[in-house]
A and B are shown apart, each in its own frame.
Chain A
């Protein structure tokens, strides 16, 4: 289990991380979300031992990391945001190096490499130089390198940046498998979309502070504005038709952009039928119907009063 207690880091006058606390259990994947510069990477860096916190502590299964060579570090694997590989070396040489710095050798190292290549799906490219790999392949190998020493806790700092959909799906499948194996995963991401698929819990950080720490469903409930019904109306129009729609009980707003009608409801489930009935009774035809889901772009302004991009 990973326990973070009151982590605090300051650079001069700038407080990068302020009293961040959370826990992540075995088999749990925690999404650390927030806009750029929110303090996610600084938090992960302190967990991984790259940065010394000014205050607070990180406990790995109850143990605190003490010193550069503390064996407790063997329980953590880090997937840095950058591609942390030697382009000039082969994939096999890279993995052998990263296994060796975690004290693996001989048959143990060979086994670990085989498993890592299986995770990355790159066994057939093991002897090729990394410089010949695509961005997605490098990302997969970047993840595999962090798994060489079979850590119980995996820290993933934006592990899918610039990745093609195929590689992203492969990485997601690998992470889901790792979760099933009981590993603790901390996943930082700028956007919520990927976290929705993978994470059991979402921690939102802004200006170094945790502003939300709950399950995905609970975080979504914090956002009333996500109760938006979107309809493509074929024969929209008529004097005052939007005003009529806005008068329907449960409708708080209605907007028409020329092709799509967006109706904001107090409660999606309870009030959607009234809107649909209103449109049907007046002869409007709908070719498409959907509802918006909460993402960081919508959750963040609710929690902070600011948009993600202006954070």
Chain B
């Protein structure tokens, strides 16, 4: 391999890249703009900042106090934005996307629910109408609703004004019950009588020190975002910049391959072919220049993320550089594949972009791979982008050590080796015939 020719060709490629304004904008500006946008959008999901409230339409068809209390508790929940409505309007709000979930409390809910607490049987049906594009949020609303309803209904049943009446009715039902063992009947009777005694006692002399009766959550919860270290907050820009960097560097790789296809059409390729330079010089210089550009893009984009959005490399700096370098080399060889497998630039570009979008999608650049189905998560390890995104995530915000970068680096270099070998194998000087 001629080093002089190799260096000259690398210099040439770099000069051509930086004289192409479109290429520079696409490679440096586009990932910054789009990553900033995605980072901003996903920022609300982080624990440090308030997330958007879930829009809930509440329909109360019951006239009792208990249902009103449940709805008041629901409206007071910090994660929900509750608006009361009638059934038809609530359904329309959900259909139009103005509400994510509509909760319908049926007529007689309070009485039937309190009775069902002790006696089962006729349980009221609380209906949840939801926007199918927000299937996750309906689970959140159900959970919140269940918590508030259970607390209020159980309190009412055990210590409220109608508590004694409900207990008396339950005892009468128990006397009439068939199919229950005498021992079970006796135990249940003692429990109901105990609750009745408690209700009468608490009604005569309210309990000291709080505890208004009824069920309440037997524990409290607290949460902590586990990041690189204690005190380090999660920065949603980190994943966003990693993902977009991967995407746009792959696009740059395609362009690097397309340049070769265009050159093959021109006299420049003939001039190169007539010169005493090997295919390894041509392929190697193309790969080297693409890898240099890829590294430059990553350095510029992550520097921007650091300065503007405070994205830090919380893990190993060497690991971060290693993942970047391995991904740059992989991208360069991916570009070579485009160059050697493509027939014409026109026919190749569309296919190459499609393949890249698949790689980016499966790699978790758009949305994190952990939300994929299990089988797809396994499949995604077969694409290099998954390793790149995971590696960058590990080094950027997970704060992992160099050992966590070794897997992605080895995987990316293995992909590069395969792509490079195929490129050398399929390389053809001749463009005619």
Contacts and interface: CB of A to CB of B under 8 A. Distances in A.
Contacts of A142: 267
A144 interface: no
A105 interface: yes
Contacts of B350: none
A51 interface: yes
B268 A85 contact: yes
A83 B267 contact: yes
B279 A68 contact: yes
Contact of A88 (B7, B16, B433): B16
Contact of B276 (A74, A78, A88, A100): A74
A85 B272 CA distance: 11
Nearest to A75: B276
Contacts of A68: 276-279, 429
A101 B270 contact: no
B270 A80 contact: yes
Interface stretch (A90-98, A200-208, A241-249, A267-275): A90-98
B380 to A, nearest CB: 39
B299 to A, nearest CB: 24
A226 B11 CA distance: 55
Interface in B1-31: 2, 4-5, 7-9, 11-12, 15-16, 19-20
A74 B19 CA distance: 31
A52 B4 CA distance: 26
Contacts of A82: 266-267, 270
B150 to A, nearest CB: 72
Contact of A101 (B16, B277, B430, B433): B277
Contacts of B5: 100-103
Contacts of B8: 96-97, 100-101
Contacts of B268: 84-86
B279 A80 contact: no
A70 interface: yes
A141 interface: no
Label chain B's interface by main secondary structure: helix
B16 A89 contact: yes
B116 to A, nearest CB: 79
Nearest to A90: B15
B371 interface: no
Nearest to A80: B267
Contacts of A45: 270, 432
A71 B200 CA distance: 110
Contacts of B277: 68-69, 101
Given A50-B270, A78-B271, A86 B276 contact: no
A49 interface: yes
Interface centre among A11, A73, A97, A100 (most CB of B within 10 A): A100
B12 A78 contact: no
Contacts of B279: 68
Contacts of B15: 88-89, 93
Contact of B274 (A49, A96, A104): A49
B272 A101 contact: yes
Given A68-B429, A102-B5, A102-B276, 18 more contacts: A45-B270, A48-B270, A49-B274, A50-B274, A73-B276, A76-B274, A78-B270, A82-B267, A84-B266, A86-B268, A88-B16, A89-B15, A93-B12, A100-B7, A101-B275, A101-B277, A105-B4, A145-B271
27 contacts: A48-B273, A49-B274, A50-B270, A50-B429, A50-B430, A51-B430, A51-B432, A52-B430, A69-B2, A69-B277, A77-B274, A78-B271, A80-B270, A80-B271, A81-B267, A83-B267, A84-B267, A84-B268, A85-B268, A86-B16, A86-B268, A88-B15, A96-B8, A97-B12, A101-B5, A101-B9, A103-B5
Q: Which are the 5 A-B pairs with shortest beta-carbon distances?
A: A84-B267, A100-B8, A80-B267, A82-B267, A73-B276
